[in-house]
Structure 1
Amino acid sequence: MLNIKLKTWIDGQSWFGETVRAVTKKKELPSLDFNDLAFKLATAENISETLPAVLKSLQSLINDLFPPAQQAELIILFSNPSTSETFMHHGLHQAPAAKLMQSLHHLFTVGKAPESNDMMMVDGLTIAPSRLFDHENMTVWSLFLFRDAAPSAKQLKWKTSSIENTLYKGLQAWYHSESKLKKALESERAMYAAELHDSLAQVLGYLRLKSLKLDKLCQQDEFSSLKPITEDLASYTQCAYHQTRELITSSRLTMQSDNLSQGVINSIKEFEHQSAIVFELDNRLPLNMLSPQQSMQMLYIVRESLSNIVRHSHATHARVVLLLKTSSLIHIHIEDNGTGINPEAARSDSFGLQIMKERADRIGASLVINNRPEGGTRVDLSLDLEANE
């Protein structure tokens, strides 16, 4: 046992300089620049990539702050009670057990969240939660996990106050920056959606009605020679109108769709209102598996599939399945009992299927679209999270 003088600096001021008793193997405590770590968090373009690296650096300090009988592991948990959503990040070499992740998700979103600094037992572990900050749609917690003996609350706070202060400053600054950016993007998207609705969509809506009326008039024998032209005109105008409406809807998707499961539920409800098709959803996907980018791209693929079912399939039933096949393999399949698909018959100006494949490639997912032996179409979308780390 050695007495080690631990000094940390936040904003150039000594945070604490008490003597900390720690077990070492004749090595000094890691030298960390807390200001640099806080700055990395504050300026992170993708917090899901930056935070684990910062936590890994902090974990090396935590390992030296506590004796072997009190070894601690740090997890940062983002909770959004309004959507029952959690995202957890850690700097550990091995991810926490799935059962523990599910227990923490339930505790901090479905159940009653604990008070800060109240130690509790979860799946045989002692957990010390501390609320770093709390905003309208996001609460951020630091969770110190002890597998064996745990220190007293006073001792824990004394040893970890500089770590939590660093996380608080960095994540608080990141959250405010992200909130401003999100509001700016949502405002711009809303403006473009409004412009599309009030200009192009209205014009296309008028042309759609007139082209349908013209097509009906040309059903008379005296205008039969014009029938192929009016049919094409009505079909293309109808397609352009629906695509514009889809652009308006897509531009108004909010960040709640970062939660893929909720985004799929909302999309199914939307397309149910547009058709007489019966939609069935089998959702067995945990909430906190995907990054926002992965969730959004997969959601757009699902939406395009559902849109194709409503517009082209002539189906009466459709089924959407979200599965976690292994610990890292996410699989989505969408099928209908309609007329099936003939890729060779696709119009030269129809880009829906190509865009779906481009979205899948963007996140390293695999996309396969085939006819079902029983009739109809099946879309299979798979993403291996470990292969894309």
Structure 2
Amino acid sequence: MLNIKLKSWIDGQSWFGETVRAVTKKKELPSVDFNDLAFKLATAENISETLPGVLKSLQWLINDLFPPAQHAELIILFSNPSTSETFMHHGLDKAPAAKLMQSLHHLFTVGKAPDASEMMVVDDLTIAPSRLFEHDNLTVWSLFLFHGAAPSAKQLKWKTASIETTLYKGLQAWYHNESKLKKALESERAMYAAELHDSLAQVLGYLRLKSLKLDKLCQQAEFSSLKPITEDLASYTQCAYHQTRELITSSRLTMQSDNLSQGVINSIKEFEHQSAIVFELDNRLPLNMLSPQQSMQMLYIVRESLSNIVRHSHATHARVVLLLKTSSLLQIHIEDNGTGINPEAARSDSFGLQIMKERADRIGATLMINNRPEGGTRVDLSLNLEANE
């Protein structure tokens, strides 16, 4: 006769409760309000300041989700292949190594983006990438870095689902808000540019023609005593007209305020259409670490330099170089093969070089303008990023 003992089974809810208690018996998981973190991201005025704080809160949770042997870290990466720019954010006490950041830049921005479902090994670290969202030329990635043995893809997804959902909701909402704000600003700038063109620019254009005509009439002997006055009047009116036209053009710049590379590219295309000069661009900026104010001021200096080349240099070739000389020193070099510059011969009504130096001073940059030994002019613009933090 068989003696069969029936095993008593507990219901699913009781099993789940006991499992959770067993997992959290030694250490309670930190309390994280995911909705609050998503709201902070969605309403961020400066994502570069808000995102690291959110990631720091999530990093505390990650430290408890994974054992110390795995040593998991989270990085958010913004990739824009069209401008070769990468922005990385983290909530770690110590920033990732420069070599790792360079490798990630080449992997996610310069090269072909990896498969979001496959883990990879980069600089002795196991990295699990996940594409949060993609709009236009911008792709936002979450990267989990493991210094030790990495969990399985299923285990990782199960543990980090709430984290990724929070980041997706918050960053997606922030991006949509930024896009709306950008369109509103562009519309407002276009309106002001149109009003400036239809009012002040038209008046200055008329005064420019009349002042030139008056200056020519005063070349006659009977009006020779008025010649110095009419000459100054014609020169200053001409200068005011050109500056107004440049202001209109600048207000119509179609660039993100923090995207220096794209602004330079657009400017070179614009000035190429205005002349027969061959422009060459060497863009070696792996990361754009400039604030909107720094980026815009540097772009204005570049544009003024390009304008001077087109109007005054008589050059056939010009070269623009953007690079990070060191991890904290950004440099821009602009040179041409024209006639060069003579500072002593500059007109008293020419304010271009003075304005360029003032713009450099506003952001703590160094501006040098010199003649090239082989002929032409060289403009060197340097910005120490650490000194301007």
The corresponding residue for 1:32 is: 32
User: Any conservation in 2 of the 1:258–1:295 contact (CA below 8 Å)?
Assistant: yes
Question: What is the distance in 1 between the residues matched to 2:102 and 2:218?
Answer: 62
Cα distance in 2 for residues equivalent to 1:32 and 1:236: 63
Say which SS state the counterpart of residue 322 (structure 1) adopts.
Answer: strand
How many angstroms apart in 2 are the aligned matches of 1:296 and 1:59? 34
**What is the DSSP-based 3-state SS (H/G/I as helix, E as strand, rest coil) of the residue aligned with 1:256?**
coil
Q: Check whether the contact 2:319–2:335 (CA below 8 A) recurs between aligned residues.
A: yes
> Using a 3 Å threshold, how does the CA distance of structure 1 residues 283 and 114 change in structure 2: closer, same or farther?
closer
Structure 1 pair 3/288, CA: closer, same or farther in 2 (3 Å)?
farther
Q: Which range moved further: 236-245 or 218-227?
A: 218-227
CA contact (8 A) 1:208 1:234 kept: yes
Cα gap change, 1:60 to 1:352, in 2 (>3 Å)? farther
Indicate how the Cα distance of structure 1 residues 8 and 117 shifts in structure 2: closer, same or farther if over 3 A, else same.
farther
**CA–CA separation in structure 2 for the residues paired with 1:8 and 1:370:** 90
- After TM superposition, give the deviation of residue 116 of structure 1 in Å: 3.5
After superposition, the CA RMSD in angstroms is: 7.0
Listed one character per residue, the Cα deviations across residues 170-221 of structure 1 (whole Å, up to 9, x for unaligned) are 2122112211211110110011111122222233333333433444454455
Q: What 5-or-longer segments of structure 1 have no aligned partner?
A: none
Q: Any idea what the Cα deviations from partners look like across 1:140-187, whole Å, max 9, x if unmatched?
A: 221112233211111111111121122122212211221121111011
Q: Distance in 2 between matches of 1:7 and 1:34?
A: 41
C-alpha deviation, 1:253, in angstroms: 1.3
Q: Given the superposition, is the C-alpha separation of residues 354 and 232 from structure 1 closer, same or farther in structure 2, using an over 3 Å criterion? A: closer
With 32-41 and 51-60 compared, the bigger mean Cα shift is at: 32-41
The 3 A distance-change label for structure 1 pair 88 and 291 is farther
- Say which SS state the counterpart of residue 388 (structure 1) adopts: coil
Q: 1:342 to 1:261 in 2, by over 3 A?
A: same
Deviation at 1:63, TM superposition (A): 2.0
Structure 2, unpaired ranges of 5+: none
Distance 2:3 2:41 in 1: 32
**Distance of 1:111 and 1:69 partners within structure 2:** 31
Q: Secondary structure at the match of 1:257?
A: coil
CA–CA distance in structure 1, aligned partners of residues 5 and 263 of structure 2: 51
SS of the equivalent of 1:149 reads: coil
Q: Specify the alignment match of 1:281 in structure 2.
A: 281
The 3 A distance-change label for structure 1 pair 28 and 234 is same
Once residues 378 and 100 of structure 1 are traced to their aligned partners in structure 2, the CA distance between those partners, rounded to angstroms, is 34
Identity of aligned residues (%): 93
Distance 1:181 1:7, change over 3 A: farther
Secondary structure of the residue that 1:141 maps to in structure 2? Answer: strand
TM-score (norm 2): 0.80
Q: TM-score, normalised by structure 1?
A: 0.80
**Relative to structure 2, which stretch is displaced further, 183-192 or 108-117?**
108-117
Distance 1:5 1:374, change over 3 A: farther
- Residue 187 of structure 1 corresponds to 187
Is the Cα–Cα contact under 8 Å of residues 8 and 14 in structure 1 kept in the other structure? no
Per-residue deviation, residues 229-259 of structure 1 (Å, max 9, x unmatched): 3332332222122111111111111234633
Relative to 1, partners in 2 of residues 1:154 and 1:285: Cα closer, same or farther, differing over 3 Å? same
- Whether contact under 8 Å (2:315, 2:336) holds in the other structure is yes
Q: Deviations over 1:317-348 (max 9, x none)?
A: 65433231211211223345667667788778
Seen in structure 2, the aligned counterparts of structure 1 residues 131 and 17 have a Cα distance that, compared at 3 Å, is: farther
Change (3 A) 1:8 1:206: farther
Change (3 A) 1:295 1:115: same
